[in-house]
């Protein structure tokens, strides 16, 4: 391997590209694969290590310093000093176990989020061994020759050459968001990073194309140096977490106030000893603080994002899970998202008539025919011209799979279809490209919808060749090619071309038009330098050649996905660069709109006022021949109507709309780095159906969080009720539940089933409901009523009833209620057991909101059953283990008592099933 070293940027900018190539022991044909492998081994991958994370020990310790934890530490000390050593130690032990559990949850959530990041590889097109190849950005090494184009994130510090119209957004380095123009020559602007012919890693190409030679990679790049300096990564807090923090704080304040009140009442009203009163009040506080809420919610969200990732939707932050569930409108691209992006050209139109192209897919399996017979290309100069433009005005390579598998496409599907078309005509595009060397490219952009190249023909005459959308082509053509000779393009010709176009577009076909201009002696551009060929000077006075029509069928899964959206009251607005007729034809075919939908073109949209557009987007509408910039306005107007908008995008100009949308969705396969950067979610299969799955998952995660919340709040009332009875009766009724027993439920038996609820599958009718209203709270009125009223009250009655029942079995009311000894232990044990068994029913009942648990499968959630098993095992241990009996003031229960406990869940479960059935009947839901 040759020794290479990154050099000072300014020095790199001043030398010639040839010198650089020599310095980095590269050739014009790029590095050899062998050399690149060696360099990768020796200099490491091209990656940036971000600033350090908060230390793991600190994260661990944070779980022992929450308000709740501090309370428990203090209480443990008080218990020790009050002579209740076992209680003190037990409180501490519970605190430690709970802290470790929270840490584990945090850790698991972090791992889940980290693994998502790894699922999104970035690629770069390099030249190695003289061939264009796509490699992962990490594998790029110093001296590699690579290409960049609009939408790419620059993968390394590099010197550019053969650049065309290049502009780069360097805000990640300089903070300046206005893109900077770059060009081949050396010029040093003001300040740092101002060399005109250098692009820097981490910046973004906003327009144009260029070749580049990597001069620094990974941590050697300017971006790497800066990243090294950044101290620690910022911790992001999402709104849902904020809401939960707020909720926890509110409940904590209420709990502490109640605790203080109970403490004072116990001391002055019941005349209870101070230390015991404190421990008693602590029970109250513990009962009400929703400890463990935040880590469980974070874990639940993280697990939700992992499930989404399996369904091809990568979320960049946990918060989007919540927003997804609220989505009311999806603004979707057509090509590739709703359709397959598998283009097959099946018709060609030239001035002398129609041609058919046989065969489908990216394989050379057909021919060009006229009236059923193969066309002789040597005799058809117009067709020859069209195919030549198709071959030359093309940056895509198609490697067909000889075994009949999927062809590998390096470029865009549209251009790949053109490559295959030329192959069907027996043209070797590569050879043609060598014969007509390309002088310049005016790259395609979805605003002007044209791509132009300038080549030299065999006689040395420059030739301008353009392909693009028909409307854009007609705007720059004033002649038409007929039998090899251009003649003026008349109004009649234009009408005829548009009619032909409409006729095919109605069948849902996309069209692409071709034109050219020979820069002859009389042309103003003749004899000028290549720099004079700009969009303004080159793309005019063109000769129209013809049209190709290509089929891009809808994705097969799209039909069901669209139906799902309709049931879930989510509207779909198609926003496409394609022609209005094609767009409508596809929209109607896949069921997004009816035939009556209004189609608004980009030009019309420009004329519309905000008020008009707001009205339009509230109805059935399709936007066609729009530029990505229009999408921003469409999304904004939907939002002004109060909608929560998800919007798809792939190009560099889609970024503003993706940022603006509540959920920006970028295409993982065909999307640019810019779009992926701006988006909240990335589709790894570019498929619309995956958006719908993600929305369903988003709704599910949110509803699972509510189920989880309902479950853990459920036990609060029965935990608090004994203390109230104790106070109200001025201690006449001894405490039916001890503090340690309350801790057992809150920090022990409740934990596993609660976690199980966090991973519950989607409820059958979840996509039959309209989106959740915005600003609805996780802790809804329905949950408060169910947790504190319905379930809570029932469990209180049952557990207090159980307490008195056990006393009754032991001789009460003939003898007074036991306040110590075995009888008291048995009574509190059954009260504890009753709460646990009520929670078993609650775990089942919380699994669905309105559907029957049987509809999702009684045993389908193993974690809940495991939780229930552990729960029963735990209280059995507490009852029969003498050491634990001592600490938890428990005693063994007899068969009658166990029988009583086992009878609790079933009626509660059946009652709730009946209630849900009634709700379903009334609301007509599944």
Catalytic residue annotation: 333
Among 468, 546, 602, 748, binds ligand ATP (CB under 6 A): 468
Q: Which ranges constitute the DSSP H helices of 506-609? A: 535-538, 558-567, 580-590, 602-607
415 binds ligand ATP (CB under 6 A): yes
Query: CA-CA distance, 610 to 607, in Å (whole number)?
Result: 10
CB-count burial class (<10 Å; 0-12, 13-18, 19+) for 132: middle
The least distance separating ligand ATP from the CB of residue 527, rounded to whole angstroms, comes to 28
414 binds ligand ATP (CB under 6 A): yes
508 binds ligand ATP (CB under 6 A): no
Report the DSSP pairing between strands 131-136 and 344-350: unpaired
Residues in the chain: 926
Using the contact rule CB under 6 A, the part of the chain among 41-49, 441-449, 782-790, 910-918 near ligand ATP is 441-449
Please say which residue, 201 or 205, places its beta carbon nearer to ligand ATP: 205
Q: Which one, of 682, 663, 704, 861, lies nearest residue 300 by Cα?
A: 704
265: tokens are: 């009442």
Using the contact rule CB under 6 A, the part of the chain among 71-79, 411-419, 421-429, 704-712 near ligand ATP is 411-419
The least distance separating ligand ATP from the CB of residue 466, rounded to whole angstroms, comes to 8
449 binds ligand ATP (CB under 6 A): yes
The least distance separating ligand ATP from the CB of residue 345, rounded to whole angstroms, comes to 12
465 binds ligand ATP (CB under 6 A): no
The least distance separating ligand ATP from the CB of residue 443, rounded to whole angstroms, comes to 9
Say if CB 822 and CB 882 are below 8 A apart. Answer: no
Residues of this chain, 643-662, that bind ligand ATP according to CB under 6 A:
none
Using the contact rule CB under 6 A, the part of the chain among 443-451, 496-504, 564-572, 697-705 near ligand ATP is 443-451
Closest residue to ligand ATP, judged by C-beta, is 577
Please say which residue, 469 or 675, places its beta carbon nearer to ligand ATP: 469
Please say which residue, 586 or 766, places its beta carbon nearer to ligand ATP: 586
Among 451, 678, 691, 878, binds ligand ATP (CB under 6 A): 451
Among 26, 412, 706, 889, binds ligand ATP (CB under 6 A): 412
Please say which residue, 649 or 792, places its beta carbon nearer to ligand ATP: 649
Please say which residue, 469 or 802, places its beta carbon nearer to ligand ATP: 469
Query: CA-CA distance, 240 to 319, in Å (whole number)?
Result: 7
Helix (H) or strand (E) holding 481: strand 477-482
Please say which residue, 577 or 891, places its beta carbon nearer to ligand ATP: 577
Using the contact rule CB under 6 A, the part of the chain among 292-300, 462-470, 659-667, 861-869 near ligand ATP is 462-470
Q: Which one, of 158, 151, 260, lies nearest residue 208 by Cα?
A: 151
CB-count burial class (<10 Å; 0-12, 13-18, 19+) for 109: buried
The least distance separating ligand ATP from the CB of residue 564, rounded to whole angstroms, comes to 21
Please say which residue, 214 or 386, places its beta carbon nearer to ligand ATP: 386
The least distance separating ligand ATP from the CB of residue 570, rounded to whole angstroms, comes to 19
Query: CA-CA distance, 766 to 375, in Å (whole number)?
Result: 56
Write out 591-624 in H/E/C secondary structure. CCCCCCCEEEEHHHHHHCCHHHHHHHHCCCEEEE
Q: Helix or strand or coil: residue 667? A: strand
Name the DSSP letter for residue 324. Answer: H
Please say which residue, 206 or 741, places its beta carbon nearer to ligand ATP: 206
Residues of this chain, 304-333, that bind ligand ATP according to CB under 6 A:
333
Give the burial string for 377-404 (b: 16+ CB within 10 Å, else e): eeebebbbbbbbbbbbbbbbbbebeeee
Number of residues that bind ligand ATP (CB under 6 A): 18
Name the DSSP letter for residue 422. Answer: H
Query: CA-CA distance, 192 to 241, in Å (whole number)?
Result: 40
The least distance separating ligand ATP from the CB of residue 789, rounded to whole angstroms, comes to 51
Residue by residue, DSSP assigns 39-65 as: HHHHH--S--PPPBPPPHHHHHHHTTS
CB neighbour list of residue 620: distance below 8 Å, 6 or more residues apart: 593, 594, 596, 597, 598
Phi, psi of 510 (to 5 degrees): -90, 150
Using the contact rule CB under 6 A, the part of the chain among 33-41, 270-278, 407-415, 434-442 near ligand ATP is 407-415
467 binds ligand ATP (CB under 6 A): yes
Please say which residue, 333 or 696, places its beta carbon nearer to ligand ATP: 333
Among 182, 510, 660, 916, binds ligand ATP (CB under 6 A): 510
Using the contact rule CB under 6 A, the part of the chain among 461-469, 682-690, 707-715, 746-754 near ligand ATP is 461-469
Q: Helix or strand or coil: residue 873? A: helix
Say if CB 863 and CB 869 are below 8 A apart. Answer: no
Name the DSSP letter for residue 447. Answer: T
The least distance separating ligand ATP from the CB of residue 453, rounded to whole angstroms, comes to 10
Binding-residue pattern over the window 332 to 361 for ligand ATP, x denoting contact by CB under 6 A: -xxx--------------------------
Query: CA-CA distance, 57 to 240, in Å (whole number)?
Result: 26
CB-count burial class (<10 Å; 0-12, 13-18, 19+) for 58: exposed
Please say which residue, 683 or 838, places its beta carbon nearer to ligand ATP: 683
Query: CA-CA distance, 811 to 94, in Å (whole number)?
Result: 35
Residues of this chain, 550-579, that bind ligand ATP according to CB under 6 A:
576-578
Please say which residue, 12 or 414, places its beta carbon nearer to ligand ATP: 414
Among 124, 416, 505, 512, binds ligand ATP (CB under 6 A): 512
692: tokens are: 């719908």
Please say which residue, 538 or 887, places its beta carbon nearer to ligand ATP: 538
HSE-CB of 902 using CA atoms within 13 angstroms:
9
Give the burial string for 150-179 (b: 16+ CB within 10 Å, else e): bbbbbbbbbbbbebbbbbbbbebbbeeeeb
262 binds ligand ATP (CB under 6 A): no
Contacts by residues 353-356 (CB-CB < 8 Å, ≥ 24 positions apart):
355/383
Query: CA-CA distance, 498 to 493, in Å (whole number)?
Result: 9
Query: CA-CA distance, 415 to 316, in Å (whole number)?
Result: 31
Residues of this chain, 705-734, that bind ligand ATP according to CB under 6 A:
none
The least distance separating ligand ATP from the CB of residue 583, rounded to whole angstroms, comes to 8
686 binds ligand ATP (CB under 6 A): no
310: tokens are: 């399996």
Say if CB 646 and CB 329 are below 8 A apart. Answer: yes
The least distance separating ligand ATP from the CB of residue 508, rounded to whole angstroms, comes to 12
Please say which residue, 109 or 666, places its beta carbon nearer to ligand ATP: 666
The least distance separating ligand ATP from the CB of residue 710, rounded to whole angstroms, comes to 43
631 binds ligand ATP (CB under 6 A): no
The least distance separating ligand ATP from the CB of residue 467, rounded to whole angstroms, comes to 5
Find the angle CA(502)-CA(508)-CA(514) to the nearest 5 degrees: 60
Q: Is the dihedral of CA 280, 281, 284, 285 positive or negative?
A: negative
The least distance separating ligand ATP from the CB of residue 638, rounded to whole angstroms, comes to 17
Among 263, 288, 444, 837, binds ligand ATP (CB under 6 A): 444
The helices-and-strands tally (H runs, E runs) of the chain is: 37, 28
* Interface residue list for ligand ATP (CB under 6 A): 333-335, 412, 414-415, 444, 446, 449, 451, 467-469, 510, 512, 576-578
């Amino acid at each position: 391997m040759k020794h290479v070293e990154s050099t000072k940027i300014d020095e790199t900018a001043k030398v010639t590209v040839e010198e650089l190539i020599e310095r980095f022991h590269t050739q014009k044909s790029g590095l050899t694969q062998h050399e690149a492998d060696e360099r990768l081994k020796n200099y490491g991958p091209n990656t940036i290590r971000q600033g350090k994370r908060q230390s793991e020990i600190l994260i661990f310790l944070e779980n022992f310093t929450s308000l709740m934890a501090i309370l428990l530490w203090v209480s443990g000390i008080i218990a020790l000093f009050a002579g209740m050593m076992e209680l003190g130690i037990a409180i501490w032990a519970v605190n430690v176990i709970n802290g470790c559990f929270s840490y584990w949850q945090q850790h698991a959530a972090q791992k889940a989020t980290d693994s998502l990041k790894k699922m999104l590889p970035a690629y770069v097109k390099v030249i190695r061994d003289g061939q264009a190849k796509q490699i992962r950005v990490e594998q790029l090494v110093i001296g590699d020759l690579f290409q960049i184009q609009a939408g790419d994130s620059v993968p390394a510090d590099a010197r550019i050459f053969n650049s065309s119209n290049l502009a780069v957004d360097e805000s990640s380095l300089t903070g300046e968001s206005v893109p900077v123009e770059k060009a081949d020559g050396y010029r040093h602007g003001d300040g740092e990073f101002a060399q005109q012919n250098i692009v820097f890693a981490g910046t973004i190409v906003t327009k144009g194309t260029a070749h580049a030679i990597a001069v620094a990679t990974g941590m050697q790049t300017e971006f790497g140096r800066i990243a090294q300096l950044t101290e620690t990564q910022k911790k992001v807090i999402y709104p849902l977490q904020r809401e939960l923090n707020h909720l926890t704080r509110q409940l904590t304040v209420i709990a502490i106030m109640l605790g203080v009140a109970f403490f004072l009442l116990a001391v002055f009203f019941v005349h209870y000893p101070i230390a015991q009163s404190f421990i008693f009040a602590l029970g109250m506080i513990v009962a009400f603080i929703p400890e463990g809420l935040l880590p469980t919610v974070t874990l639940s969200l993280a697990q939700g994002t992992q499930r989404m990732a399996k369904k091809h939707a990568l979320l960049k932050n946990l918060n989007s899970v919540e927003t997804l569930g609220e989505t009311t409108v999806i603004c979707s691209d057509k090509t590739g998202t709703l359709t397959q992006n598998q283009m097959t050209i099946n018709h060609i139109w030239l001035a002398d008539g129609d041609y058919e192209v046989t065969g489908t897919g990216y394989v050379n399996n057909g021919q060009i025919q006229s009236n059923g017979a193969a066309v002789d290309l040597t005799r058809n100069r117009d067709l020859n011209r069209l195919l030549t433009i198709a071959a030359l005005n093309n940056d895509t390579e198609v490697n067909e799979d000889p075994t009949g598998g999927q062809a590998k496409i390096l470029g865009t599907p549209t251009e790949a279809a053109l490559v295959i078309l030329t192959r069907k005509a027996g043209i070797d595009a590569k050879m043609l490209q060598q014969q007509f060397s390309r002088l310049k490219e005016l790259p395609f952009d979805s605003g002007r919808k044209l791509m132009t190249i300038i080549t030299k023909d065999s006689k040395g005459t420059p030739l301008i060749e353009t392909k693009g959308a028909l409307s854009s082509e007609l705007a720059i053509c004033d002649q038409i090619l007929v039998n090899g000779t251009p003649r003026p393009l008349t109004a009649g010709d234009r009408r005829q071309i548009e009619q032909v176009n409409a006729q095919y577009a109605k069948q849902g076909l996309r069209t692409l038009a071709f034109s050219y201009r020979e820069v002859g002696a009389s042309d103003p551009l003749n004899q000028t330098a290549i720099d004079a060929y700009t969009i303004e000077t080159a793309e005019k006075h063109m000769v129209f050649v013809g049209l190709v029509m290509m089929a891009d069928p809808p994705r097969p899964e799209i039909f069901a996905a669209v139906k799902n959206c309709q049931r879930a009251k989510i509207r779909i607005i198609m926003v496409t660069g394609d022609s209005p007729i094609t767009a409508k034809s596809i929209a109607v075919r896949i069921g997004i709109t009816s035939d009556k939908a209004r189609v608004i073109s980009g030009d019309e949209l420009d004329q519309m006022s905000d008020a008009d557009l707001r009205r339009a987007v509230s109805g059935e509408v399709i936007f066609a021949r729009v530029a990505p910039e229009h999408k921003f306005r469409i999304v904004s107007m939907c939002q002004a109507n109060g909608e929560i908008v998800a919007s798809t995008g792939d190009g560099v100009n889609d970024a503003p709309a993706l940022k603006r949308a509540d959920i920006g969705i970028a295409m993982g396969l065909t999307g640019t780095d810019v779009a992926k950067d701006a988006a909240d979610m990335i589709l790894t299969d570019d498929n619309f159906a995956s958006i719908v799955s993600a929305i369903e998952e988003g709704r599910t995660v949110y509803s699972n969080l509510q189920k989880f919340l309902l479950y853990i709040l459920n036990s609060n009332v029965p935990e608090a009720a004994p203390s109230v009875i104790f106070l109200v009766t001025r201690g006449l009724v001894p405490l039916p539940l001890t503090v340690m027993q309350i801790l057992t439920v809150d920090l022990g038996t409740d934990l596993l089933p609660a976690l199980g609820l966090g991973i519950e599958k989607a409820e059958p009718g979840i996509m039959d409901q309209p989106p959740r209203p915005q600003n609805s709270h996780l802790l809804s009125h329905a949950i408060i009523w169910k947790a504190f009223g319905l379930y809570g009250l029932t469990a209180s009655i049952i557990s207090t009833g159980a307490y008195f029942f056990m006393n009754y079995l032991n001789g009460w009311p003939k003898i007074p209620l036991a306040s110590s000894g075995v009888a008291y232990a048995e009574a509190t044990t059954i009260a504890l057991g009753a709460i646990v068994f009520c929670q078993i029913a609650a775990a089942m009942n919380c699994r669905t909101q309105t559907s029957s648990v049987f509809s999702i499968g009684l045993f389908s959630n193993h974690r809940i059953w495991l939780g229930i098993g552990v729960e029963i095992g735990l209280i059995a241990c507490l009852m029969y283990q003498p050491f634990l009996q001592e600490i938890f003031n428990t005693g063994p229960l007899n068969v009658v008592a166990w029988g009583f406990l086992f009878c609790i869940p079933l009626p509660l479960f059946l009652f709730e099933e009946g209630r849900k059935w009634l709700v379903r009947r009334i609301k007509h839901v599944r």
